[in-house]
């Protein structure tokens, strides 16, 4: 399948080139909204790349990844809210102040969502199959309702942040610069993901998904492998949540909604499960469909549903699978 591999490489290359070319063209043509759309693609792709580590590599069908997206979003919202109102996040046990600095916010988002993924993972991985899907869904609902009733941070209405957070040396209010930040993070995470897939950990995880018994026989603990994958996965989706909140300068409980968990699964499947660039293709196609079909008809979700149904029933490798052939075996 060497031919197939290189075809996938070219598909991936074309996708990245397209994701750079479109906003650059929009910059020249003075179409800032297109740059925002491309930024949206990069951020949703990042969230889906995160999910794909649990879903594609680990075989963990999580219907609760909105939890991490929302935690990332609220990490940004809470820190920036306190910074813009000149109040402290907490004064006890130590003084913690808000911040408008992106790198600090990202760090908090990643650490907080990784911790949440650790706790949820330890509890959820006791179950498997449908029960795993449902318990992750339940955790998602818990966070959703908690955010709704958390009136200190806007409750159901969410939080608005007036000015986008800053990154040293850049003006993030300029759309193309913020796109650059998101795109660079996406590339870095994709590179890490590619390394991860080929690392001993990635190979063991792959084996743990396919034949857990054999992994156990060679002395590895499949549960622990899956837990680590779940934590990495949650942390990446959390980072995407922080960026998404910064793109909209707004966070609300809908970031925790189970529909969003479903949506990122759609991105992964649309592109191709377990494919490195599957989530990127999925996010790009989703945003284009949303924009294009949404412009044609108010009822565009019907057509999204139909397309999705056709892909599940007839194109089981997703779009990357259609374009690049069955290079990676996944079950």
Partner 1 sequence: MSSILIIEQVLNGLQFGVMLFLMAAGLTLIFGVMGLINLAHGSLYMVGAFAAAAVAAATGSFLLALGAALAVAAAVGAVVEVAVIRRLYATDHLDQVLATFALILIFSEGTRYLFGSFPLYLDIPDALSGPVTLPGRIQYPLYRLALIGVGLAVALGLWLLIERTRIGIRIRAGENDREMIAALGVDISKLYTLVFALGAALAGLAGALVGAIQSVQVGMGEPVLILAFVVIVIGGIGSIRGAFVGAILVGLTDTLGGIFLPEFFKLFMEPAAGTQVGASLASMAIYILMSAVLVWRPTGLFGARA
Residue in 34, 36, 101, 128 binding partner 1, rule: CB under 8 A: 128
Cβ 210 to partner 1 shortest distance, Å: 13
Please tell me whether residue 138 binds partner 1 under the rule CB under 8 A.
yes
Nearest CB to partner 1, comparing residues 16 and 315: 315
- Helices (H) and strands (E) counted in the chain, each on its own, are 13, 4
Helix (H, G, I), strand (E, B) or coil at 129: coil
Q: Is the peptide bond before 93 cis (omega within 30 degrees of 0)?
A: yes
Task: Find, among 195, 231, 218, the residue nearest to 58 by Cα.
Answer: 231
Nearest CB to partner 1, comparing residues 87 and 127: 127
Residue in 25, 146, 191, 292 binding partner 1, rule: CB under 8 A: 146
Tokens of 27: 């910059």
Cβ 14 to partner 1 shortest distance, Å: 26
Residue in 135, 204, 228, 324 binding partner 1, rule: CB under 8 A: 135
> Do 156 and 148 touch, CB atoms closer than 8 A?
yes
Please tell me whether residue 95 binds partner 1 under the rule CB under 8 A.
no
Q: Which residue spans within 177-331 are E strands per DSSP?
A: 250-251
Binding segment (CB under 8 A) for partner 1, from list 29-37, 174-182, 184-192, 265-273: 265-273
Residue in 38, 41, 51, 55 binding partner 1, rule: CB under 8 A: 55
Cβ 93 to partner 1 shortest distance, Å: 20
Please tell me whether residue 218 binds partner 1 under the rule CB under 8 A.
no
Residue in 134, 173, 203, 288 binding partner 1, rule: CB under 8 A: 134
Please tell me whether residue 211 binds partner 1 under the rule CB under 8 A.
no
Q: Which residue spans within 143-193 are E strands per DSSP?
A: 159-160
Cβ 311 to partner 1 shortest distance, Å: 8
Nearest CB to partner 1, comparing residues 36 and 141: 141
Q: Strand 159-160 vs strand 250-251: parallel, antiparallel, or unpaired?
A: antiparallel
> Do 196 and 53 touch, CB atoms closer than 8 A?
yes
Please tell me whether residue 302 binds partner 1 under the rule CB under 8 A.
yes
Please tell me whether residue 292 binds partner 1 under the rule CB under 8 A.
no
Residue in 2, 95, 130, 329 binding partner 1, rule: CB under 8 A: 130
Task: Find, among 105, 67, 84, 111, the residue nearest to 232 by Cα.
Answer: 111
What are the angstrom distances between the C-alpha of 253 and each of 54, 78, 144, 256?
A: 23, 13, 6, 5
φ, ψ for residue 144, nearest 5 deg: -60, -50
Residue in 101, 141, 177, 254 binding partner 1, rule: CB under 8 A: 141
**What is the DSSP-derived secondary structure letter of residue 172?**
T
> Do 100 and 173 touch, CB atoms closer than 8 A?
no
Please tell me whether residue 149 binds partner 1 under the rule CB under 8 A.
yes
Tokens of 94: 């130590």
Residue in 69, 179, 258, 260 binding partner 1, rule: CB under 8 A: 258
Residue in 308, 315, 322, 323 binding partner 1, rule: CB under 8 A: 308
Residue in 2, 29, 313, 329 binding partner 1, rule: CB under 8 A: 313
Size of the site for partner 1 (CB under 8 A): 44
Task: Find, among 173, 86, 73, the residue nearest to 116 by Cα.
Answer: 73
CA distance 135 to 129: 10
CA distance 200 to 82: 43
Which residues of this protein are in contact with partner 1, per CB under 8 A? 55, 61, 63, 123, 126-131, 133-135, 137-139, 141-142, 145-146, 148-151, 258-259, 262, 265-266, 269, 273, 299-302, 304-306, 308-309, 312-313, 316, 331
């Amino acid at each position: 399948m060497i031919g197939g591999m290189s075809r996938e490489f070219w598909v991936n290359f074309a996708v990245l080139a397209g994701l750079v070319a479109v906003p650059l063209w929009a910059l020249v043509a003075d179409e800032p909204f297109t740059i925002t759309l491309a930024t949206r693609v990069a951020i949703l792709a990042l969230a889906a790349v995160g999910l794909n580590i649990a879903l594609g590599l680990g075989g963990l069908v999580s219907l609760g990844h909105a939890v991490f997206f929302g935690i990332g979003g609220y990490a940004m919202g809470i820190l920036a809210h306190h910074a813009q109102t000149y109040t402290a996040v907490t004064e006890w046990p130590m003084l913690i102040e808000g911040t408008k600095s992106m790198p600090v916010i990202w760090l908090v988002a990643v650490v907080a969502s990784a911790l949440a993924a650790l706790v949820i993972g330890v509890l959820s991985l006791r179950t498997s199959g449908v029960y795993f899907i449902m318990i992750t869904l339940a955790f998602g609902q818990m966070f959703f309702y908690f955010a709704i009733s958390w009136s200190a941070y806007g409750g159901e209405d969410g939080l608005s942040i007036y000015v986008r957070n800053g990154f040293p040396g850049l003006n993030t209010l300029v759309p193309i610069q913020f796109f650059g930040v998101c795109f660079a993070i996406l590339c870095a995470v994709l590179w890490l993901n590619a390394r991860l897939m080929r690392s001993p950990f990635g190979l063991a995880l792959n084996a743990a998904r396919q034949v857990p018994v054999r992994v156990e026989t060679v002395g590895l603990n499949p549960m622990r492998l899956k837990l680590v994958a779940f934590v990495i996965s949650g942390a990446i989706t959390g980072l995407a949540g922080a960026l998404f909140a910064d793109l909209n300068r707004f966070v609300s409980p809908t970031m925790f909604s189970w529909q969003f968990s479903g949506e990122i699964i759609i991105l992964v499947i649309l592109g191709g499960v377990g494919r490195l660039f599957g989530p990127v293709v999925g996010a790009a196609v989703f945003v284009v469909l949303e924009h294009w079909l949404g412009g044609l008809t108010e009822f565009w979700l019907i057509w999204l549903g139909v397309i999705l149904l056709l892909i599940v029933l007839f194109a089981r490798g997703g779009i990357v699978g259609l374009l690049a052939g069955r290079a990676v075996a996944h079950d």
